[in-house]
Amino acid sequence: MKPTRIAFDDALQKVRDHAYAGPCEVLPVIMANGRILAQPVVAQRNCPPFDMSAMDGFAIRKDTLKLPGDHSLWIGEAQFAGEPMRPLSKNEARPIYTGAAVPSGTGAVLVKEKANIAGTSLLLSEALMAGANIRLTGEDARLNETVLDRPIRLNPAMVGTLSAYGVTNVTVRAKPRVAILVLGDELAGSEDATADQIIDANGPMVRALLEDAGCSILQHTRIKDDAQAICEALCSALDNGVNMIISTGGASVGAKDLLRSSVEAIGALIYFHGAHMRPGKPVLFATSRSGVPIFGLPGNPVAALVGARFFIMSAIRAWYGMSGEQPILRWSDCQDSGQTRILKAYAKPTEAGSAVVVLPGQQSHMMRSLLAANAWIVQGGDQPRRLFPLFDLLNDRADE
């Protein structure tokens, strides 16, 4: 029996139901930028690792902090960052620099600009607040504290922070290995397209999206509308051990639309072919006999992008052990239209929240507005209207 067309949100759920989590690997933190964390990370040291000065100035003893009137302290030998800590002596004012260990007995650090120096003495004319200009041991992170505990894409700030916390290795998900098959007799590359050919936009676009999402591209081929060639490409991708196959084009009902029959011919199981959505209506989702997800994205470029942005990212999230994506905004209105419309939009932060503009040129062959878009409005299909970023950055916040 032919699978019937399903609602957009049901289709997303179907993908999640049949996608699976990928294996893990351990990487040095320095190599893990852009990778998805798979296990919680625990601080391996206190940060700061010891009480340290926050300013260049003078370490002043606790017992001389609050002395009234001018009080003369002798200036000791400087304490630099990286040097072992030496305790403060009685009536000593120790020159100290930002990041240097605060000597034991210190009550506060007097900033250099406020120091009144006379020869080898420092005149303390005003009382200092206890603890002033001292960074406390572990006030940023404590030894053995869990500092990241969810699947999230590591970014340069995280790489730096985890390094500061003494973390050398992290456990991340392996990169999904994917094959991209671009179908269409009419297609050629931009460098060699003749006047009657169409330049392949989907191949570069889907590849870039997958690379951004952390995938390894094992195979990327342009294939003619030929059943045998399509079946061979599908089988060779499976033989190469890919974790996902993505095709574009040939997904509709035309005489040369051979994706569905080819997917059936290799014994894959189709879960849906067609969703109540525009663009992207003829999208197909199947799994191979060995359970590898196969996506048939429609040929119209905006339809291909929408399919990749929502359906493939849904499978990639499952691979990474992440939950389903939440919209960045959910409006209260709900348009009961039966069909989900996915609109290219520009969202601009304002003082009152966010101003969202639907861009002109919404048909699925019109790419121009993609050059300005930064978001999608998803509306209709019995769901509240929602706003999603143009691409899923896999950086869900902890409170989601």
CB 205, min distance to ligand LQZAQKY5, A? 8
CB 361, min distance to ligand MOO, A? 13
- Is there binding between residue 263 and ligand LQZAQKY5 (CB under 6 A)? no
- Is there binding between residue 340 and ligand LQZAQKY5 (CB under 6 A)? no
- Is there binding between residue 200 and ligand LQZAQKY5 (CB under 6 A)? yes
> Cis ω on the peptide bond leading into residue 279 (within 30° of 0)?
yes
**DSSP H or E run through 380:** strand 375-380
3 state SS of 192: coil
How far apart are alpha carbons 100 and 89 in whole angstroms?
A: 17
Tokens standing for 217?
A: 């591209």
Q: Which of 43, 172, 182, 316 binds ligand LQZAQKY5 (CB under 6 A)?
A: 182
Q: Which of 94, 281, 341, 385 binds ligand LQZAQKY5 (CB under 6 A)?
A: 281
CB 13 within 8 A of CB 314: no
CB 384, min distance to ligand MOO, A? 22
> Which residue number, 52 or 251, has a Cβ lying nearer to ligand LQZAQKY5?
251
Task: Please provide the distance, in angstroms rounded to a whole number, between the alpha carbons at the two ends of the chain.
Answer: 39
- Is there binding between residue 203 and ligand LQZAQKY5 (CB under 6 A)? yes
- Is there binding between residue 198 and ligand LQZAQKY5 (CB under 6 A)? yes
> Which residue number, 76 or 298, has a Cβ lying nearer to ligand MOO?
298
CB 364, min distance to ligand MOO, A? 3
Smallest CA-to-CA distance from 92 within 108, 114, 72 is with 72
C-alpha distance from residue 208 to each of 76, 202, 295 (Å): 60, 10, 16
Question: Where do contacts with ligand MOO occur on this chain (CB under 6 A)?
Answer: 278-281, 298, 300, 303, 364
| Beta-strand relationship, 340-350 and 353-358 | antiparallel
CB 265 within 8 A of CB 231: yes
CB 221 within 8 A of CB 182: yes
CB 9 within 8 A of CB 378: no
Contacts of 398 (CB under 8 A, 6+ apart): 150
- Is there binding between residue 287 and ligand LQZAQKY5 (CB under 6 A)? no
CB 42, min distance to ligand MOO, A? 47
> Which residue number, 76 or 279, has a Cβ lying nearer to ligand LQZAQKY5?
279
Q: Which does 22 bind (CB under 5 to 8 A by kind): ligand MOO, ligand LQZAQKY5, none?
A: none
Contact residues: ligand LQZAQKY5, CB under 6 A: 182, 184, 186-187, 198, 200-203, 248-254, 257, 279, 281-282, 298-301, 303, 364
